[in-house]
Amino acid sequence: MTVGLTPHSVEAAIRWAQMALGSAGIDGARAEARLLLRHATGLSAERQVAAPDRCLDDQQASSLTEAVKRRTRGEPMAQILGRREFWSLDFIVTPDTLDPRPDSETVIAAALARLDSRDRPYQILDLGTGTGCLLLALLSELPAATGVGVDIAPETVRIARLNAAQLGFADRARFIVGDWTAALSGQFDVVLCNPPYVRTVDIDGLSREVALYEPRRALDGGDDGLAAYRALIPGLRHRLSETGLTVLEVGAGQADAVSGLLEKAGFAELLRTADLGGIERCVSAIPDKNSD
């Protein structure tokens, strides 16, 4: 349902947007209506509440109408707003980047828990960096660290660079186009990765926000969901310093299989960390000194 928006007061606009979103089956329609109104008008939630009678101009009304229309078609909020918060940092999001998810904050927490000191000049590598969220969030906690983010898609790398610049990390983060570790030499102290891990057959069963609008290459883990781990884990050890740490995000139920791949590739001291939903969300490991 997308009739035009009239009359144009803030309160009427919120009610109209809430109704349109609600009848499209969207949960939390009122909260989303307020966010979309802020997007269309620049009015903060506080100002929306303080001035319900304020009038939208035509341009603001048509911008809200357009945003609501996109949302009712299933487009994710992050893509409409162009932003998403991760680790309390504000990331630019586009259709070329996987929307940063709260689950992935587990990777940051797990890395921080295993690093000895926050002040060392760690060199960090983030494979399949997307928005750059893992690398930039970790840099925000490690003031002397520097890092490289790799992504296969040039357009995605462009967004990651923009994120580094707008968050103030341009001097500590570099982003390059590459296929996992193939374009890299040298060794890193920390290697992070949130690879695509959804089984191909399961993608269409995900919410339409994900299945239709998120980059498939960031989701598709092949027949059993593990194809990316098989491609990247064998090359991982060579990119890690002897005292290095790797932290890999995994999908629900994949921790055993990914742990097995890591052990086979010469990693030890494997540790699993659960996300806030209690699902084992990442596996971390260090090089096994007894294997080469």
| Residues at the site binding ligand GLN, with contacts judged by CB under 6 A | 101, 103, 194-198, 206, 210, 219
Whichever of 30 and 217 has its CB closer to ligand GLN, that residue is: 217
The two most distant CA atoms of the chain are separated, in Å, by: 73
Residue 69 neighbours by CB distance under 10 Å: 15
CA–CA gap between residue 250 and residue 228 (Å, rounded): 11
CB closer to ligand GLN, 147 vs 215: 215
Q: Which is nearer to ligand GLN, 103 or 224 (CB)?
A: 103
- Interatomic CA distance for residues 170 and 161, integer angstroms: 7
Min. distance of Cβ 66 from ligand GLN in angstroms?
Answer: 26
Strands 280-287 and 240-249: antiparallel
* Least distance to ligand GLN, CB of residue 103, Å: 6
230, 257 Cβ separation under 8 angstroms: no
**Separation between Cα atoms, residue 23 and residue 2, nearest integer Å:** 10
What would the two tokens of residue 278 be?
């209690």
The distance of Cα 214 from the centroid of its chain, to the nearest Å, equals: 11
Q: Return the number of the residue (24 or 227) whose C-beta is nearest ligand GLN.
A: 227
Smallest distance, ligand GLN to C-beta of residue 118, A: 26
The distance of closest approach from Cβ of residue 130 to ligand GLN in the complex, given in angstroms and rounded to an integer, is 9
Identify which of residues 89 and 198 has a Cβ nearer to ligand GLN in the complex.
198
Compute the least distance from the CB of residue 189 to ligand GLN, in Å: 23
